[in-house]
Amino acid sequence: MAEALLDYRALDGPLQGLQDAPGWYVGFSGGVDSTVLLHLMQRWCKANPDSPALSAVHINHRMQPAANAWQLHCEWLCKFLQIPIISRHVDVQPQGRGSEAAARAARYRIFEEQLGRGDILFLAHHLDDQVETFFLRLMRGAGVRGLDAIPDRRPLGEGELVRPLLHVGRGELESYAQHHGLECVADPSNSDSAMDRNFLRNDLLPRVAARWPGYRLTVARASEHMAGAVAALQQALPAPDTVYSVLGDPGVAIAELLEVPAEGAAVKLRAWLLGVGCLAPDQALLDEFLRQLRVAAADANPRLACGTYSLQRFRDAVYLLPAPDAPRCADTFTLAPGEIYEVPGVGRLGLEPAAEGFLLAPGERLEVTWRQGGERCKPRGRAAGSSLKKLLQEWQVPPWWRDRVPLLCLDGELLAVGDLWACDCSRWRDKAPRGEQLWSVRWERQTAVTRP
């Protein structure tokens, strides 16, 4: 008997409970998998008129000569399907991680930026992807958390990532595309068996299928067993509560990781990372980081760099660092009342009206600079001034922020250190003179995760 053709109603279960989202997005590369998912979603939404607005997101990695042609193809197909498409370009910089890992990191960064609060991104990972991921992680010595393979949903930025096709095999998707005459792009790199995933897909797993035709379902079942074990572990060792640095960096208290054996600490830290939308690091990296936390001196700052994010100890907690790849701030600029200036790795800076604050003459602009060393300041209300370095340490400002704290000056006089404190200066007024307006600093920091 011929296998039944995939139908849009196969999405009824995976989409249940998601109709209240503000927006639905499909990650659309133009390949068979994402083309079928987009086509299925379009049909499902047509049959369910009350569903959220559907859009496609195409990421042009510019890694293949045909990348621009693929983008045009995706835009043409979306026009035909009457689905809005958002096309974005990224610059992939491997930096020792490998081009595929770097491309994935860049892609997910764009996806995260695109999602608003409550939005949902749908990706076309399927049953064969699940099986390949299981074998890849098995060959890398993954633990229980890694062998539960690809989750069907997880947080992503302010929204959620959902994979509605994890129960569907690649063959079913290909049959659907052929039946509906869907034109799809073909990435030539998929035939390169020098890449581990392609070796599994093209060389090893066909031989496994010849011996064990039902291996996909049994491997998927094994992954489900692992997921059950992970759930039990997380119930016994729940994710720690989030603590925050004085500048808003999210983190985990050191005590949460040291009060349990190393294996338990790894479970708790992985659960916390997944909860804030970060993929767990490789087991070896995580084990070494936890070992350093246990043996390092109290004033040491062990760091775990995972490519897309970094963790570092500071005092009594481990924090998720903001924009680990952001360059050190060096450029100065001027700022006038009513303006907002955005600095990569720092955040949005502006001046807002205040009951007490700085008195500025019409047309005056503050100069925004960065710590170079040797600066001094007397915070308002203090009897004496001190070096800026000492004050930042006293205020428990983490090391990774100390060169990123904006210094606001006028005519060579330091008025404020970010929004942390105002300096005892000639421009401060406790009350605005008649007909005048006072100003204070507003700094919306660019932390790794937005604080609730």
3 state DSSP class of 320: strand
Residue by residue, pLDDT tens for the chain (452 residues) are 446 789 999 999 999 999 999 999 999 999 999 999 999 999 999 999 999 999 999 999 888 888 899 999 999 999 999 999 999 988 777 655 567 777 888 888 899 989 999 999 999 999 999 988 888 888 877 777 677 778 888 888 889 999 999 999 999 999 999 999 999 998 877 777 878 888 988 888 889 989 999 888 898 888 888 888 877 877 777 888 999 999 999 999 999 999 888 888 888 888 888 888 787 787 788 889 999 999 888 788 899 888 778 899 999 999 998 765 555 666 889 999 988 888 888 889 999 999 999 999 888 999 999 998 888 988 988 888 889 999 999 999 999 999 889 999 999 899 999 999 999 988 999 898 988 999 999 999 888 764 43
Task: Enumerate domains of the chain plus CATH numbers.
Answer: 8-226 (3.40.50.620), 237-320 (3.30.465), 333-445 (no CATH)
For residue 106, the SS3 value is helix
Cα distance between residue 259 and residue 189, in whole Å = 47
pTM of the model: 0.63
Tell me, what's the pLDDT at 450? 47
Query: Which region holds residue 309: left if phi is over 0, alpha if psi is between -120 and 50, else beta?
Result: beta
- DSSP E strand boundaries for 214-264: 243-244, 250-253
d(CA 323, CA 448): 7
Q: How far apart are CA 193 and CA 137, in angstroms?
A: 17
In DSSP notation, 332-361 reads -EEE-TT-EEEETTTEEEEEEEESSEEE--
